[in-house]
Amino acid sequence: MKAKLFLVLMLVSGMGSAREPGVAMQRVLPFPIFETQLENGLNVVTVPYNSPGVAAFYIVMRVGSREEVEPGKTGFAHFFEHMMFRGTEKYPKEKYSEELKAIGASANANTWLDRTVYHMTGNASMLDKMFELEADRFMNLKYSMQDFKTEAGAVKGEYTKNFSNPMMKLYESYADTAFVNHTYSHTTMGFIEDIIDMPNQYEYSTVFFERFYRPEYATIIVVGDVNQDNVVGMAKKYFGKWERGSYQATIPVEPAQNELKRVHMKVDNYPAQLVLSYKAPGFIDTSREAAALSLLASVIGSEKSPLYKKLVLEERKVRSFDATYFFTRDPFLFFIDVAMVNEDDLQYVKDEIDKYVREIIKKPVSKEFLEQIKSRLKYSLAMRMDSPDAIANTLSYFTWVTGDPQSVNKFYNTLKSITGGEVAAVAEKYLKPERLTLATISSSETQTIK
**Within positions 306 to 345, which residues make up the interface with other proteins, using CB under 8 A?**
309, 312-314, 316, 319, 341
Q: How far is the CB of 104 from other proteins (least distance, A)?
A: 3
Length of the chain in residues, anyone? 450
CB 80 within 8 Å of CB 155: no
Q: Should residue 375 be labelled a site residue for other proteins when binding is judged by CB under 8 A?
A: yes
- Verify binding: residue 254, other proteins, rule CB under 8 A: no
Q: Which of 25, 26, 97, 421 binds other proteins (CB under 8 A)?
A: 97
Q: Which of 18, 25, 180, 382 touches other proteins (CB under 8 A)?
A: 382
- Neighbour tally for 6: CB within 10 Å: 13
State the nearest-atom distance from the C-beta of 58 to other proteins, in Å: 14
Helix%, strand%, coil% for the chain, nearest 5: 50, 20, 35
In the three-class reduction of DSSP (H, G, I as helix; E, B as strand; rest coil), residue 191 is classed as: coil
Yes or no: say if 274 and 444 are a contact pair by the CB < 8 Å rule: no
Alpha-carbon distances of 271 from 134, 167, 262, 267, 450, rounded to whole Å = 44, 11, 19, 9, 20
388 binds other proteins (CB under 8 A): yes
256: contact with other proteins by CB under 8 A: no
Q: State the minimum distance, in angstroms, from the CB of residue 8 to other proteins.
A: 10
Minimum distance of other proteins from residue 421's CB (angstroms): 21
Q: Which is nearer to other proteins, 229 or 379 (CB)?
A: 379
Nearer to other proteins, 26 or 380 (CB): 380
> 1: how many CB neighbours lie within 10 A of its CB?
20
- Looking from the CA of 53 toward its CB, the CA atoms found within 13 Å total 4
In 1-137, beta strands by DSSP E: 17-19, 34-37, 43-48, 54-61, 106-111, 116-123
> CB of 147: closest distance to other proteins in angstroms?
9
Among 15, 20, 23, 146, binds other proteins (CB under 8 A): 146
Q: Site for other proteins (CB under 8 A): which residue of 2, 142, 149, 211? A: 149
Per CB under 8 A, 142 contacts other proteins? no
Nearest distance from C-beta of residue 270 to other proteins, angstroms: 5
| CA distances for 373 relative to 23, 291, 303, 378, 415, angstroms | 26, 12, 10, 9, 10
CB 27 within 8 A of CB 382: no
Per-residue interface string for the shown chain with other proteins, residues 186-205, x marking contact by CB under 8 A: -------x--xx-xx-----
> Given candidates 270, 282, 287, 419, which one binds other proteins under the rule CB under 8 A?
270
- d(C-alpha 435, C-alpha 281), whole Å: 11
